């Protein structure tokens, strides 16, 4: 494939999604240095419940692990500044407010009772809560020149009782309902901090025609960030959408790609190729844009969860080769041999795919902090996804001699049971050994709660059936095999 022009202009931001797997602060400082060395020019930081909210908002702080302190948040910015990286905080203000609206005291601010993510835009206390969140975050980021207000995936908007009443007036639409809230939030930001640029996700704008966008109140107020993480992103449709935004007066635009966390909700190991392909598509978009469209940059997103209540996606150490490869792809127009060489040299690895790179010879690498953990996750994931383990309960011996019927009746062929017992015990012993090594390494980089969550989400579902089989085998053998008495054991 012939190389495309490199990413034309604007900043390359690395998205730090801190919900669920917040790196320990010293590790986070190392990562920021790595991002800069790999070619990033800024950070898009989404704290969610890891921000040290105060006063009435203290309820929003994470309880399963300690949020970053105020000094730690300032240290993140200081380290970024030392590496010449801009910091842009991201605060959700409409959708994806699960971390806010899950709290019983705030249930009444939901658009509908069964959707934890969407704020009711009609409640003044909800608007004030969002404004206070913004105030606390902005004031703890005195050096930032931009703020991202989220506003993506505002599910079930218009379905709440107050929204249905509002929409009953002829001429009112859900689009207008969305725009009225976002415009109010963005205007509040600009009035309070006139020098602060406001960025928002674009997906809720995509269905709006040019006239609606022109009259939205957002023109000159916000910078839409068009996101698409698909490796087969539709270039023509994306160009057309950017042209529509620009034609409506939304002339300052951003793109958003992905270097991790968008493959599937439960992916553990990052595929570099998938994410590089996404960036090649974005390069095709950039090469197809008319010169009149002003692209301010691209944010390389690295999602840690699909939302606040979903499982963990790939951990950051697993994604550093992908991030490096995506940044080099944007620089070179393709992941050429030269670009791959820069990636492997910068991280001290043999290949850009974390799944196939050679094991490090001695502990962690200074070039690639977290490499040992990445290797352990790859190894452990391969074990957990092996055919023998995944289909142990479907094996001929389990399905032939140790079915639920046999287990219930405790009727078992002891010879077969001993074979199954030996197999299951060997598997469990091997997994337990690797998990212990994994725990020790993970605890160096992440809080105990994140370590425990990863194990319970990815290891427990595989080993629990094996443990149950072992318990049932032991119980069945007791019923089928004579047990030695103390007398027989002493020879009497």
What are the E-state strand segments in 326-401? none
Please, what is the end-to-end C-alpha distance for the chain in angstroms? Answer: 83
Beta-carbon count within 10 A of 244 CB: 16
Helix (H, G, I), strand (E, B) or coil at 2: coil
Angstrom distance (rounded) from CA 340 to CA 79: 27
- Alpha-carbon dihedral sign for residues 444, 446, 452, 458: negative
Residue among 153, 210, 355, 393 flagged as catalytic: 153
The residues, any chain, with a CB within 8 Å of residue 71's CB and separated by 6 or more, are none
Task: Read off φ and ψ for residue 91, nearest 5 degrees.
Answer: -125, 120
Q: How far apart are CA 11 and CA 38, in angstroms?
A: 13
Q: How many CB atoms lie within 10 A of CB 354?
A: 25
CB 69 within 8 A of CB 52: yes
**Using CA atoms, how far apart are residues 117 and 95, in angstroms rounded to an integer?**
5
Active site residue 252: no
Beta-bridge partner residues of 148:
90, 199
Q: What does the alpha-carbon distance between residue 243 and residue 228 come to, in Å, rounded to a whole number? A: 16
DSSP string, 378-402: HHHHHHHT-HHHHTGGGSHHHHHH-
Q: Would you please indicate which residues are annotated as catalytic (active-site) residues?
A: 153
């Amino acid at each position: 494939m012939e190389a495309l022009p490199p990413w034309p202009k604007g900043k390359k931001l690395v998205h730090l999604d801190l919900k669920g797997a917040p790196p320990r602060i010293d590790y986070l400082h190392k990562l920021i240095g790595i991002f800069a060395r790999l070619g990033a020019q800024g950070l898009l930081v989404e704290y969610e419940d890891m921000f040290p909210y105060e006063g009435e908002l203290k309820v929003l702080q994470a309880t399963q692990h300690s949020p970053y302190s105020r000094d730690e948040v300032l240290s993140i910015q200081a380290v970024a500044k030392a590496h010449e990286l801009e910091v842009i905080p991201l605060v959700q203000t409409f959708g994806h407010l699960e971390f806010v609206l899950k709290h019983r005291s705030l249930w009444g601010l939901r658009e509908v009772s069964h959707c934890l993510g969407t704020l009711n835009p009609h409640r003044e206390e909800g608007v004030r809560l969002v404004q206070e969140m913004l105030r606390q975050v902005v004031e703890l980021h005195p050096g930032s020149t931009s703020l991202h207000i989220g506003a993506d995936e505002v599910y079930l908007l218009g379905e709440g009782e107050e929204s249905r009443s509002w929409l009953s007036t002829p001429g009112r639409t859900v689009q207008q309902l969305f725009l009225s809230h976002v415009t109010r939030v963005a205007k509040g930001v600009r009035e309070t901090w006139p020098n602060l640029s406001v960025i928002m996700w674009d997906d809720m704008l995509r269905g709006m025609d040019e006239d609606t966008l022109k009259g939205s109140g957002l023109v000159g107020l916000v910078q839409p960030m068009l996101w698409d993480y698909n490796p087969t992103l539709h270039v023509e449709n994306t160009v057309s959408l950017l042209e529509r935004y620009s034609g409506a007066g939304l002339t300052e635009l951003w793109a958003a790609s992905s270097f991790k966390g968008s493959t599937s909700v439960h992916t553990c190991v990052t595929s570099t190729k998938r994410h590089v392909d996404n960036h090649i598509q974005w390069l095709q978009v950039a090469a197809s844009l008319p010169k009149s469209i002003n692209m301010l940059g691209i944010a390389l997103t690295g999602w840690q969860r699909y939302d606040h209540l979903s499982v963990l996606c790939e951990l950051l150490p697993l994604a550093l080769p992908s991030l490096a490869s995506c940044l080099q792809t944007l620089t070179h127009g393709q992941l050429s041999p030269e670009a791959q060489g820069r990636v492997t040299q910068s991280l001290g690895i043999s290949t850009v795919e974390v799944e196939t790179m050679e094991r490090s010879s001695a502990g962690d690498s200074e070039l690639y902090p977290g490499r040992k953990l990445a290797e352990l996750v790859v190894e452990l994931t391969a074990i957990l996804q092996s055919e023998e383990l995944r289909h142990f309960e479907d094996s001929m011996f389990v399905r032939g001699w140790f079915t639920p019927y046999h287990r219930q009746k405790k009727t078992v062929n002891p010879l077969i049971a001993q074979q199954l017992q030996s197999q299951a015990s060997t598997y469990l012993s091997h997994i337990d050994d690797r998990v212990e090594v994994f725990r020790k390494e993970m605890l160096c980089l992440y809080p105990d709660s994140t370590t425990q969550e990863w194990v319970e989400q990815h290891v427990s579902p595989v080993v629990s059936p094996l443990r149950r089989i072992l318990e049932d085998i032991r119980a069945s053998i007791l019923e089928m095999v004579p047990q030695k008495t103390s007398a027989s054991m002493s020879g009497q």
